[in-house]
Structure formats: C-alpha cells, structure tokens
Structure 1
Amino acid sequence: MSESGDLMRVLLLTFFHGLGHVVRTARVGSALVDAGAEVLVGTAEPARHIMTARGLDSFPLTELPPFPPREPGEEPPPPPDGRIRLADPEYLTTCLAEERAAIAEFRPDMVVSDFRVTGAVSAALEGVPAAWIVNSGFFEFPFPQVLRDVVPQLIELGVPEETARRVLGDVLYIPDWSRFDPLSGIASRESGAALGSLAEIRHVGPVLKEAPDRAPSRAEARKRLGVDADVPLVYVSLGGTAQGYGSLTTIASLLGSVPAHTVLVTGPNIPPERLPAHTADTVLAYTEDSMAWTRAADLVVTHGGHTSTMEALCLGTPLLALPGHAEQEWNASRAVSLGTGEILPADAVADAFLPTVTRLLDDQGLARRAREVGEALADRDGAAELASHVLAFASLSALARGAS
C-alpha cells in the first residue's frame, strides 16, 4: 500500500492517437476513484481534456505524431528501417524516462497500461506490478510486430532481456467476454509465448465510457441530441486516428443519398474541411456523446474499433463495419457472428456502401436481433470489475513484498 497508508495509488498510462484507448482509460480511472483509489493518468497532451472532463489528474506523455490522412487506395509509406514506428529508439527512450519519473514521484501500487508498450517495462524497472488493457485482436495485429521490433530495441537500449520480454507485465485485462474475444482465436506464435509470461489473464467485460445499463433510452438519447423521434438515423465514425480517411472520403459524398439523417464524426485528426464534398446532414470533428449517438441511431457505420463495436453491441444498434486492418476485422466479426451487422471490405465500399446501408436500414429482423443482444449484454460493467481486481491484485502484491 502507498506510504500514506490510506489510499491505493494506481498510475494509468494510455496510448494515443486512437480515442478508444484514451476513453477506455478515462473510464477505468473513474471506476478506480469510485472504488477508493488515488489515480494519476499519463497521456498525450491533446487527450488530457478527456481526463479533465472525468475529474482525473493527468500529466503529459510524449507520443508519436498521428498518421497523416491517406487518400483512397493510397498505401502508407514503409518505415525507413522496416520496423513499426513504436520501435523508434528515441521514442522508446523518452517513454521510459517519462514513465519511470512519474512512477518514482507518484509511487503507485500498480501501473495499468492501455497499449502503452513501455508501461509495464517501466513499472518492472521500478519494482511495481503492472497490467495491460487490450482486446485479444491486438495479438494478431500489431502485437507480433511489437515483439519483433520493440522488444529487441528495448534490449539494445539497456533494458534487461527478461524485463523487456515481459512487456505485458503481470496481468492482462481483456475488455470483452470470452465468447466474443476468445484466446483460442489467437494464431500468432509470438503472442502465444508472450501470454505465457503472465500471472493472470482476465476477461472483465466491455469497458465503455459509461456502464451500458446507465445509458439513456433511444427516445431519451434522441431528445438530448435534438433528433426527431421518427426520423431514421445513421451515425458514422471511423475512429480517432486518420487511418480511416480513405473510406471516409469515399462515403462522405454518398451520405446525402442515404434514406436517413446522417451524422458524420471525422475524428480529431481529420478536420471536417478535409471533406469538402461531404453530403452528411451533421458533421462533427469530435463528440463526447458517442454512446448517446450510438443508442439513438438505427445504424452505426464504424471502422471496427473495439470500443465502437462493443458500444453498438451493448446498446443494441446494428452496425456496418468498414475495417482497415486485421484487428478491426476481428472486432467486427464478433458482431457479425451474432447477426447484428455486416462487414464491407475496403475494395467494395465505393460500389456497395449505399445499397448496403439502405438494405440494413430496412431490415427489421436485424434491428430486433441487435436489441436482443443489447438487452443480454447491458447488465455488466467491465470498468468496475477491472478496478476491483486491480486493487485486490495491488494489495496482495504489496503484502507479498512486505513479507519478503
């Protein structure tokens, strides 16, 4: 337990620029505070307002710049040395220095990282237990690249090999149910070996911005958002990074032909002015009301990010996924397996988007199945379960250290 002897201290470290990581971390922070912990969050400066809105103390972390928007069909430039950006030695050195300084000053009982690849390593170097929050789709992409590129670079920077290889720390929290995010689906041999180093893997249920059973009803959400109760509504959000720009550019001009009121959220890294040809009825760069829009909508168009997919499932809204990589396809397949949505491959978006959206809006069976799934999933709060386990694990770890 912390030196004050009264409150457990938890340091949260989150990766940016994907908003899902940041929003999820903020929700966990709130749950930890509610459970009686003292919380400090490290995140990139542009995301700190999300922590402030939650009443959480935070400090800035250096983060990689966002990917620049790419035109439809444009491939990302290959890294100069063939490695993922996260393996940049200057970036890793800075991350370790900032994180270790925060640990030394805050003296947490546990460090919890949401895909901040150095978080658990920094914790181990400071003698503090650590955990990761990540959905199992990441163990297909991009986690194998983290093991192949980041871990050797950490060793080259002087991190002991055993510590560098335990990049996941002690506990893995999967913000989902095993039914939708099974470990048996992980085919990567590198990831399987890394999972074997953990003390515990725990499925805690979805960690959303709010507990699903506290979300407003569809009628309440529409009233709050100013949407007519009887008008069909399509909510489009392809993530907080700029990686969905190609698909967003393709569909933006088609939204005016969708037989519904369309709401387009571009994300903080794609200014709305980058989409001058859009025909959406409402355009937002960012919204704090993603769950309200999802509840109010008749259809959600998403990139297949884990948070947006689980919001649609838990709130009972059909979805159409336009995934950009394997992890997003993995997430979207969870919804498709329950008959609550469809996946549209990138090469089919231009021709199939409009007829697919029109068909899904008319499918009352799809809407009914989505509502049934939402009702079944709405009574479990992954953030509260995660927070409870963090405090129990940290307490037992402190007792073990005191006895040694």
Structure 2
Amino acid sequence: MAMRLLIIAEGATLAHVGRPLLVAEEAVRRGWHVVFARPRSYAWMTRNAAFDVVDLDAQSPEVFARRLASGSPLYDLATLDAYVDADRTLVRTHRPDAVIGDFRLSLAVSARLEGCRYATLSNAYWSPYCVMDGRWPVPDIPMTRFMPIGLAEVLFNLVRPLAFGLHASPMRQLRAKYGLSPSGVDLQTAYTDADLVCYCDFPGLFELKDAPSTHIVVGPLVWSPDVPVPEHWMQLRDDRPVVYFTLGSSGRADLAVSAARALAEQGHQVIMSSAGRPISPGGLPGVFLSDMLPGEAACARASVVVCNGGSPTTQQALLAGRPVVAVPTNLDQFLNMSALQKHGLGRVVRSDRFSPERLCAAVAEMSAATGDSASRFHASHAVRSAAAVIAGQLEHS
C-alpha cells in the first residue's frame, strides 16, 4: 500500500513553502499519496501540483515579519492553540502515515496527540547540538543602531538566554495545556522538537555534537520559482561583471534601490529580483529588475550573489560555485552567514551599518575570490537529493 504523507507548510517566508514542495514532489515520484497544506497566498506555488493541495489558516508573512523585527515571540499562545486544532483536523481528515512540517511549531503537540509520526525541516544553526564558535552574532535590533557592534554583541549574549526563554514561552504554555511536559523546552528545542529532524544544510558547513540519530543533515532543499529566464538578460554584456541581487521576502527592501544603483555605478550589471515586493529602481541603467527569477539560473549567470544571507539563496549560490555578499537583518540570516564567513564563502554587510560604499567594497573583494570553496561544498552534496534522503528515512522508520 502506498504511503500517505501530509505536508504542512507554514508560509512564514517563501522558503517554508518551497522546501516542503520539493519533498512533496519526491514523494509523488515514489508513488506516495501526498496532501500539501499551505496558506492561500501561496497558491501560485502549487498551481501545477501533481498532488492534493488544501488551504491552511496561518499567520500572515507580514505579521511574522513585524514580530521578527520587533523582537516579539513569533507566535502567541492563541495562534499556536488555533494551529493545534487545524493540524488535528487535517490529520484526522487525511489519516497520513507521517506528517512533515516546515516551521509549523504546533505539530510538536498536535502530531503527538494524534499519534502520528512527525518530521520537521529545519536548519542546523538552530539545533541544540550545533557547535557555536564563541558568542552568538547580534542581529539588527534597536540597540545596534546607537552603540558599537562589539558592545551590543556582549549585551545581546548576556540577555539572550532570557530572550530565548521568552520566545519559547508560548510553546511551553501550549504543551502544558495539552498535558505534555514543558520542562526543558527552550527556543532551539522548540524549533527542532520532532520524531525526525531534517537539517536542510550542506554537510560539513555546520558542526553537530552528540546529536541523536533522529537528527540528520540531509543536504540543501533548493527551490526556485518555475519562471523563464527574462528576455532582458539577452542585453547582458559578456565584458562586464554580473551581480545577482535579491533581498528575498525577508530582507531590508528599503536598501534595495540604493544598493542596486551603487553596484551599477561601479560597472556591474545587476540582475535583480524583487521577490514580489514593491521595489522600483526607476529604470536605472545596468539594472534589470524582475518580480521573480529562476534563482539557480541567476546564480549561475552572476559572478557574485548579493542577498539577505538566508539559507535558500546562499545555497543556490554555493551550488553554482558563487561567493556571497549578504545584507542580513534577523538572527537566522546572521547565523547562516557566520558559517559561510568561517569557510571563506561570503562576507557580511550589516543592514544596520549599511552603506553603498561598504557593499561595493565587499562585492569587489568577493569578485576577486575564487569559487574553489563554494565548489567544494557543491561537490559534497549527496548524489541523492535531500528530498530523497528525507523520503527514505520516513519509508524505513
């Protein structure tokens, strides 16, 4: 009998729908029955799906972004409690053999209440078993705007355990409400509380210590929108360097125009994706704007990739053997870029210290770097895709 799989894509950002989409496609190739739940605002991503798709009630990306920017817990108890009801209804309706979630934190409770195997997609830098070198990086938060970064980082690390506890508090309350122990649930365990934890990162990029066998690094799940290469790419000249520029769905969109202008003035041709956000460079010469781009093709066409530092675009860059310059804002992006900097794969221009001059200097530096390090991580990617690894784990567990 074919395996039945329920996938719940929270939709906080594009990546939280794109990654599970790849798993769904792999499951269908294996002959499984797949039900894919995603917010209605992402219907365009599943328009040609070869599996069943249902709408999912979820907090909007805009609310998620506001909570992230303000330093508030990303979900309150009322939201998570409503998620549990919705999750349980989906499980009872579709009776899956397993459920996969991508940042659907409520599944740690709802899947267990329904006795259903639960796998989560995550990143290794959120693992409680990830080895951190020194202090955690301080993200773009109010205090970094008026004090030296070194001092802000010291203060951030002093208050971080308390802040992480505050962020995990709604999950502890949720567990207690449904009779599950809240003891020991901090932010990292809340993000990775599942029967199978799949870290969607390149092997060797992050170090895990004493991780149980249920925590596995599966490789990157790199999704790109199914859109054609823009016709205006035909205007790109071979005698001038190309930069692929995108701040994705969660970067500082207000910096995009000044960044693109500065790169163009330095002689770069800028192929730019707004990721569906209202960005308009106003017809700047040398800047080629699209709403969405095929990310892998864009990385391959460029010599340097400029992005927000999140794992989706940086992984596309590494697969193309391209170095990264990041303009990160949130902690997730800073954590990802810490590893890339450590391995010589990228440079950071902090969003709270951004200037066009700093960006251009970082791009010039990375343009001069070879792609050897990036190619090494490309070569380390398993022949089987991450989606196939995840499917195999579920099939044999």
Please indicate, yes or no, whether the TM-score normalized by the shorter chain is above 0.5.
yes
1:130 matched residue in structure 2: 118
> What do the CA deviations read for 1:248-270 (whole angstroms, capped 9, x no partner)?
355244243142210222223x2
Pick from 215, 233, 244 the counterpart of residue 235 of structure 1.
Answer: 244
> What do the CA deviations read for 1:179-203 (whole angstroms, capped 9, x no partner)?
112224xxxxxxx9xx8xx771111
> What do the CA deviations read for 1:96-134 (whole angstroms, capped 9, x no partner)?
121111110110000111111112321111111101110
Maintained 8 Å contact 2:8/2:104: yes
Do the aligned partners of residues 35 and 101 (structure 1) sit closer, same or farther apart at CA in structure 2, a change above 3 Å counting?
same
2:40 matched residue in structure 1: 45
Paired residue type of 2:333:
Q
Paired residue type of 2:318:
L
Do the aligned partners of residues 378 and 318 (structure 1) sit closer, same or farther apart at CA in structure 2, a change above 3 Å counting?
farther
Question: For 2:47, what is the secondary structure of its paired residue?
Answer: helix
Question: For 1:97, what is the secondary structure of its paired residue?
Answer: helix
2:131 matched residue in structure 1: none
- Provide the rounded CA distance (Å) in 1 between the counterparts of 2:389 and 2:62: 34
Question: For 1:272, what is the secondary structure of its paired residue?
Answer: coil
Pick from 15, 37, 40 the counterpart of residue 20 of structure 1.
Answer: 15
- Provide the rounded CA distance (Å) in 2 between the counterparts of 1:255 and 1:330: 26
Counterparts in 2 of 1:335-346, with a 5 A limit?
Answer: 335-346=340-351
- Provide the rounded CA distance (Å) in 2 between the counterparts of 1:277 and 1:250: 13
Question: For 2:81, what is the secondary structure of its paired residue?
Answer: helix
1:207 equivalent to 2:221? Answer: yes
Paired residue type of 1:338:
H
1:92 equivalent to 2:80? Answer: yes
Pick from 182, 198, 204 the counterpart of residue 179 of structure 1.
Answer: 204
Question: For 1:85, what is the secondary structure of its paired residue?
Answer: coil
- Provide the rounded CA distance (Å) in 2 between the counterparts of 1:145 and 1:252: 39
2:58 matched residue in structure 1: 63
Maintained 8 Å contact 2:198/2:216: yes
1:153 shift after superposition: 2.9
Paired residue type of 1:272:
I
1:135 shift after superposition: 0.4
Do the aligned partners of residues 63 and 280 (structure 1) sit closer, same or farther apart at CA in structure 2, a change above 3 Å counting?
farther
Pick from 274, 279, 292 the counterpart of residue 272 of structure 1.
Answer: 279
1:50 shift after superposition: 1.3
- Provide the rounded CA distance (Å) in 2 between the counterparts of 1:224 and 1:55: 31
Pick from 375, 384, 388 the counterpart of residue 384 of structure 1.
Answer: 388
Do the aligned partners of residues 17 and 248 (structure 1) sit closer, same or farther apart at CA in structure 2, a change above 3 Å counting?
farther
2:6 matched residue in structure 1: 11
> What do the CA deviations read for 1:52-93 (whole angstroms, capped 9, x no partner)?
33433221112222337999xxx94464xxxx131241x223
Question: For 2:337, what is the secondary structure of its paired residue?
Answer: helix
Counterparts in 2 of 1:282-293, with a 5 A limit?
Answer: 282-287=288-293, 289-293=294-298
1:150 equivalent to 2:170? Answer: yes
User: Across the two proteins, how many residue pairs are aligned to each other?
Assistant: 353
Do the aligned partners of residues 258 and 37 (structure 1) sit closer, same or farther apart at CA in structure 2, a change above 3 Å counting?
farther
- Provide the rounded CA distance (Å) in 2 between the counterparts of 1:69 and 1:110: 27
Pick from 319, 325, 334 the counterpart of residue 324 of structure 2.
Answer: 319
* Structural RMSD (CA): 3.4
Do the aligned partners of residues 109 and 172 (structure 1) sit closer, same or farther apart at CA in structure 2, a change above 3 Å counting?
same
1:229 shift after superposition: 6.7
Counterparts in 2 of 1:216-255, with a 5 A limit?
Answer: 226=234, 228=236, 230=238, 231-241=240-250, 243-248=251-256, 250-255=258-263
- Provide the rounded CA distance (Å) in 1 between the counterparts of 2:284 and 2:232: 25
Range moving further from structure 2, 19-28 or 226-235: 226-235
Pick from 259, 282, 305 the counterpart of residue 310 of structure 2.
Answer: 305
Maintained 8 Å contact 1:304/1:322: yes
Maintained 8 Å contact 1:237/1:264: yes
1:341 shift after superposition: 2.2
Maintained 8 Å contact 2:9/2:16: yes
- Provide the rounded CA distance (Å) in 1 between the counterparts of 2:352 and 2:325: 15
2:269 matched residue in structure 1: 261
- Provide the rounded CA distance (Å) in 1 between the counterparts of 2:253 and 2:103: 22
Maintained 8 Å contact 1:247/1:322: no
1:370 matched residue in structure 2: 374
Paired residue type of 2:37:
G
1:160 equivalent to 2:179? Answer: yes
Do the aligned partners of residues 144 and 69 (structure 1) sit closer, same or farther apart at CA in structure 2, a change above 3 Å counting?
closer
What runs of 5+ residues in structure 2 fail to find an aligned partner? 129-135, 137-159
Do the aligned partners of residues 245 and 309 (structure 1) sit closer, same or farther apart at CA in structure 2, a change above 3 Å counting?
same
